[in-house]
Amino acid sequence: GDPVGAAVSSFLAFAVGALVPLIPWLAAEPLATIATSAVLGAVAALAVGATLAAFTERSIVGTALRQLAWATAACTATWLIGSWLGTAIG
């Protein structure tokens, strides 16, 4: 494939994926947004994993769960770093 095309499509996919869990923060109260954002992020991670599996001919369930696990690990690391630095929501 074309490296520039791959880079642009990867950038766009990450940008759209990053917006999904932010949507509730634009419309709801802070307490409800945390759970809604987490659920939307998990669903998006599962969808990305399932789509990736379809393109790579791997197990849909296994790849979707692996994507969810990595997303959860990234969110946990972000929360731990934020807690360590003394930041909070609300």
Average pLDDT along the chain, 90 residues, taken 10 residues at a time:
85 82 78 84 90 90 95 90 77
Question: What integer pLDDT is reported at residue 89 of this predicted model?
Answer: 61
User: Please, what is the Cα angle at 26 between 25 and 28, to 5 degrees?
Assistant: 65
Query: Which DSSP string corresponds to 2-70?
Result: -HHHHHHHHHHHHHHHHHGGGGGGGTS-HHHHHHHHHHHHHHHHHHHHHHHHHHHT--HHHHHHHHHHH
Question: What integer pLDDT is reported at residue 36 of this predicted model?
Answer: 85
In this structure, what are the phi and psi dihedrals at residue 32, rounded to the nearest 5 degrees?
-70, -30
C-alpha torsion 46→48→50→53, nearest 10 = -140
Residue 89 CA, chain-centre distance (Å), reads 19
Answer yes or no: pTM beyond 0.85.
no
Question: What integer pLDDT is reported at residue 25 of this predicted model?
Answer: 79
